[in-house]
Amino acid sequence: MIAKLNGIGEQALKDVAEAGSLDALEQVRVAVLGKKGALSEVLKGLGTVTAEERPKIGAVANDWKRKLEGALEDRKAALESVALEARLQSERLDASLPARLPHRGSLHPVTTTTRRIIEICAKLGFDVMTGPEIETEFLNFDAVNIPADHPARDMQDTFFMGPGVLLRTHTSSVQMRAMRSQSWPVRILCPGAVYRCDSDATHSPMFHQVEGLWVDRDVKMSDLKGVLSTLARELFGAEAKIRLRPSYFPFVEPGAEVDVSCFQCKGTPQSGCRICKGTGWLEILGAGMVHPRLLELAGFKDAGSGLTGFAFGMGVERIAMLLHQIPDLRLMFQGDVRFLRQF
């Protein structure tokens, strides 16, 4: 039996030395020291030996057990340090590799276009003034000369919040707020969101406008044209020209729709210009001379006669779409980063 134990022990020592991995080492341990391992199997025969021999055999078995446990421990430590070394080699950190930067985000085209318009007009002396998006029916409609039976007031076009209260349908609602909150001259620009019951490729239930208002002694239509020409040149390039077409808006008289020469075909109608559809012109805003009724309602008491003004209003998305050649208004509001990253 002692010879058998010695044989098992010698072989196991060899196996431990040869084990090439932690897994292989564990297999060696189980095979010799495990509950059903070779050592235990031999010791099962202890019952058949004499009482005299039994302690000697037990001592030999314990000896081997201790020796093998020590060998296993040493080999395990050696294998672990080899594995660690290999991992350190393979995972070497290259601190000189440029980092992959996170995307920093960018300003929405509605924001950049609004800011650009404000920047241009600020140089012409306009201050920014904002008004509430939830507005009274009075300031949105009555105060800008839109009578009670005007179709624009229809529930189909306007989001009413309750009797006499609505989501403003245009930033012209800020005109009367401006005129009543300060004395003349008034020279303000009001950017902001507006709301209408309308939704398709060119209409959104929420969109943005910028309203301009200039009231002073002897303000003329030529002043309006000067401001709008400057705005068009700054926005669309030095060659941009404007033209005014007579049009009707209840809050101005006379009123006009304003076109800018097409920045693509430079205002020379060419068949095939997709931007202006071959007309050479792009409609960008509405404008006119402030209706006398508004000035009356504003009640500039100290002004006497001779106070006049002009106003203009434009859709920010429309201008952004022209500047960036964005084909569908809805892209502006879908929040798709693939779209937004382009700006």
Q: Is 286 in the site for ligand DAH (CB under 6 A)?
A: yes
Q: Is 312 in the site for ligand DAH (CB under 6 A)?
A: yes
The secondary structure of residue 218, as a DSSP letter, is T
Interface of this chain with ligand DAH, residues 164 to 223, rule: CB under 6 A: 170, 172, 211
Stretch that binds ligand DAH, among 4-12, 41-49, 247-255, 334-342 (CB under 6 A): 247-255
Stretch that binds ligand DAH, among 37-45, 79-87, 227-235, 305-313 (CB under 6 A): 305-313
**H/E run at residue 27:** helix 22-33
Q: Which two tokens stand for residue 291?
A: 């209706």
CA-to-CA distance for 141 and 159, rounded, in angstroms? 13
Q: Which two tokens stand for residue 319?
A: 């201008």
Q: Which of 310, 322, 325 has its CA nearest to residue 121?
A: 310
Q: How far is the CB of 316 from ligand DAH (least distance, A)?
A: 12
Nearer to ligand DAH by Cβ, of 267 and 288: the residue is 288
Q: Is 143 in the site for ligand DAH (CB under 6 A)?
A: no
Q: Which two tokens stand for residue 239?
A: 């060659």
Stretch that binds ligand DAH, among 78-86, 284-292, 316-324, 328-336 (CB under 6 A): 284-292
Nearer to ligand DAH by Cβ, of 159 and 339: the residue is 159
Nearer to ligand DAH by Cβ, of 13 and 258: the residue is 258
Q: Is 240 in the site for ligand DAH (CB under 6 A)?
A: no
CB-count burial class (<10 Å; 0-12, 13-18, 19+) for 233? middle
Q: Is 39 in the site for ligand DAH (CB under 6 A)?
A: no
Give me the residue label for tokens 């201008």: 319
CA-to-CA distance for 137 and 173, rounded, in angstroms? 9
Q: How far is the CB of 338 from ligand DAH (least distance, A)?
A: 31
Q: Is 135 in the site for ligand DAH (CB under 6 A)?
A: no
Q: How far is the CB of 290 from ligand DAH (least distance, A)?
A: 8
The secondary structure of residue 102, as a DSSP letter, is P
Burial 45-55 (b: 16+ CB within 10 A, else e): eeeeeeeeeee
Please give the residue ranges that form the binding site for ligand DAH (CB under 6 A).
170, 172, 211, 249, 252, 255, 286-288, 311-313
